[in-house]
Amino acid sequence: MHRLFRELVLSLLFLIAATTIASSQQGDFPLLKGPYLGQRAPGTTPEIFAPGIVSTDMVNHSTISVSPDGLEIYWAMAPLDMPSRIYVTKMTKGIWSRPEIVSFTQSEDGDCPVLLPAGERMYFNSHRPLPGQRSRRERIWCVERMSGCWGVPFPLGPEINGEHLHWQISVDAVGNLFFGSERNGSKGRDDVFLAERLKDSYRRPISLRPEINTEAHEGVPFVAPDGQYLIFGRDGLWISFKGKNGRWLQAKSMGDAFDGAICPYVSPDQKFIFFLTTGMEHNDVMWISSDCIESLKPND
């Protein structure tokens, strides 16, 4: 009886969230043309991205994820204390569409969407139960695109989802998975873990080297598609580059512009860094020029 009541309450919450989100999207939608929803590109000072469209009075719980061709933008948001939904806006004939909830999070939650660099697969977080089960907890799910439409999501295997993990994940061009977790093998609190992609599964996740992970809290990673740098959260944003020997170099702070920043993401064209800032009642998606990445590269 208790489990049934809980399921009914969760279903009601999902319905309330969907209704609230739908009502917030009513009214005239602006005519948006050009890359990145037609927004004026930022310089070296962070600016709010797409206020009133992506950054709203709802809670953003992830940064954006952009398709390789720049014609689709995904992000997660919901009213305060409601389950997150993944939204998408698409550019068709030069005009961006009104944001709508993607099919696979209309009746279940979804968070932190991450497109594979080729764009044919998406990873995301969800508390939805596994097939045939009722218990809910955060896991990483995957969904593939077929004939232009997203299919049915499936959870990653127990080598990934068998232990605690949290928040933003990132995938490089060959499918290696980076995520934050306080599972066995952590060097302190949460660490950034790497699970190397096999053909149909993953190797056992390993905590990255001490050049990245410390006794502090590291997480919410973004890895470059070519795997040559990693940005992650640790009281602001930090970055590590791959050395000539293929090992990660000592991470360095990305500076005051990223104080309090979490969930970094670099656009497919490598022009901008997006990240999340937290507020009292909502979070904003910010963006800034990515020139700082080049300036932080080691000289050798």
Mind listing the pLDDT tens digit for each residue in 180-223?
A: 988 877 787 789 999 999 888 899 999 999 999 998 888 999 99
What pLDDT score does 83 carry? Answer: 86
CA distance 221 to 263: 7
Task: List, for the chain, all residue ranges whose pLDDT scores fall below the cut of 50.
Answer: 1-26
The total number of structural domains that make up the chain: 1
CA distance 87 to 112: 11
Give Cβ neighbours of residue 123 (< 8 Å, ≥ 6 apart).
113, 114, 116, 140, 141, 142, 156, 169, 171, 177
Q: What's the pTM value of the predicted model, to 2 decimals? A: 0.88
CA distance 25 to 77: 12
Domain coverage including residue 18: 2-296
What pLDDT score does 105 carry? Answer: 93
What pLDDT score does 300 carry? Answer: 64
CB atoms near residue 258 (< 10 Å): 24
Q: What is the DSSP string of 110-170?
A: -EEEEE-TTSSEEEEEE-PPPTT------EEEEEEEETTEE---EE--HHHHTS--EEEEE
What pLDDT score does 148 carry? Answer: 85
Q: 246: domain CATH number?
A: 2.120.10
Which letter, b or e, does each residue of 277-290 get, where b requires 16 or more Cβ atoms within 10 Å of its Cβ?
A: beeeebbbbbbbbe
CA distance 31 to 33: 7
What pLDDT score does 19 carry? Answer: 46
DSSP reduced 3-state for 5: helix
What pLDDT score does 16 carry? Answer: 47
CA distance 120 to 258: 31
